[in-house]
Amino acid sequence: MRLSEIARLAPVRVVRDAQFEDLGLLGSADDAILVYLVEEHAIRRLERTPGAVAVITTAELADRVPSGLGLAVADRAEDAFYAAHAALMEKTEFYWKSFPTEIHPTASVHQRAWIEPRNVRIGPRAVIEPHVTIFERVVVGEDSVVRAGTVIGSEGFEFKGPAMRQGRASRETRDYGARNRRVPHAGSVLIGARVEIQASCTIDLSLFRAPTTIGDDTKLDDLVFVAHSVRIGRNCLIVAGSVIAGSATIGDEVWIGPGSVISSGVRIGDGAAVVLGSTITRDVPPGMRISGDLKTYELP
């Protein structure tokens, strides 16, 4: 999609047109994304978002956007970005093209599981146990197992409201309105092959087009929470009670111990180990073993 097409869906003025493949937030690891910029200090984060190809920003910050990026200007850039997001979800097939649910004849789905009648695909030899709920826009790969009570494809937690300002000096003057407003989740969940998701886990839809992903051969223990737009690689082991917050990226062959918390946007490198009960708020290099709390800084 081109930025000029967004101008028909949201209150923006296009200065430099550009082609983009998805929407995303500053700091995202995705390629060819449209982002928004509303604070001068966040220009550093734009520079650390190599996949950004187009930006919605204010007239005051427009000159700070690199000339190689597409540019649109709005009086309220964040609101315009989410207005475009909602319009793409409601009025176009940009995020998802609907289809009747497909369950492979070799899959085993318990009679007390709930599978939405549209926009779900269950692969060969997959096993879906009792009281599993699978909402729309979910794909479960071959030979994967989803155990009792798990919910896949639930609406993620993304709201804009007055509490967004709390403790954030850079947001003190931002107008979030008088009440909390939900940001709809337009994305999907992609479960790879030979994944096992044990009892009472929750896996949220992605916020934008790129799916919340669990890679081939990864295993989740009971009561693991995977938030929107998380990417988990192959052959990971994620133990009971762990929380992986939105847009975190987990590499291949990662161990995450019981009760660990991975903060939003954090990247855990291939082969890393997070010991039980750890709180991780910054990136972990490949092969590193982390115990205790790792929070030497917080994102602005």
Q: Which tens digit of pLDDT belongs to each residue from 70-105?
A: 999 999 999 999 999 999 999 999 999 999 999 999
What is the band of 163 on the pLDDT scale with cuts at 50, 70, 90? Answer: confident
Rounded to two decimals, the pTM is 0.92
Q: Is residue 134 part of a domain?
A: yes
Question: What is the per-residue pLDDT across 177-204, written as a single tens digit (0 to 9) for each?
Answer: 788 989 999 999 999 999 999 999 999 9
**Marked catalytic residue, from 41, 104, 110, 228:** 228
DSSP letter for 184, please. Answer: P
- 196: containing domain: 102-294
Q: Is residue 267 part of a domain?
A: yes
Question: What is the per-residue pLDDT across 43-60, written as a single tens digit (0 to 9) for each?
Answer: 999 998 999 999 999 999
Give the E-state strand segments of 192-264 in sequence order.
Answer: 196-197, 202-204, 212-214, 219-220, 225-226, 231-232, 237-238, 243-244, 249-250, 255-256, 261-262
- 112 and 75 within one domain: no
Q: Does the active-site annotation cover 228?
A: yes
Of 11, 6, 35, 10, give the one whose Cα is nearest residue 23.
35
* Dist CA 149 CA 113 (whole Å): 9
Domain count, the chain: 2
Q: Is residue 159 part of a domain?
A: yes
DSSP letter for 103, please. Answer: E
Query: What's 22's domain CATH number?
Result: 3.40.1390.10
Of 203, 218, 212, 210, give the one whose Cα is nearest residue 143.
218
Please determine, for residue 173, whether its predicted confidence score (pLDDT) is greater than 70.
no
Would you say 107 and 126 are in contact if contact means Cβ atoms under 8 Å apart? yes
Domain boundary among 91, 112, 143: 91
Question: What is the per-residue pLDDT across 139-154, written as a single tens digit (0 to 9) for each?
Answer: 999 999 999 999 999 9
- 136 and 211 within one domain: yes
Measured in residues, the chain has a length of 300
For 23-52, the DSSP string reads E--TT---SSEEEEE--GGGHHHHHT-TTE
Q: Is 154 exposed, middle or buried (0-12, 13-18, 19+ CB in 10 A)?
A: middle
Q: Is residue 96 part of a domain?
A: no
What pLDDT does 175 receive? 72
Would you say 212 and 187 are in contact if contact means Cβ atoms under 8 Å apart? yes
Question: What is the per-residue pLDDT across 96-135, written as a single tens digit (0 to 9) for each?
Answer: 999 999 999 999 999 999 999 999 999 999 999 999 999 9
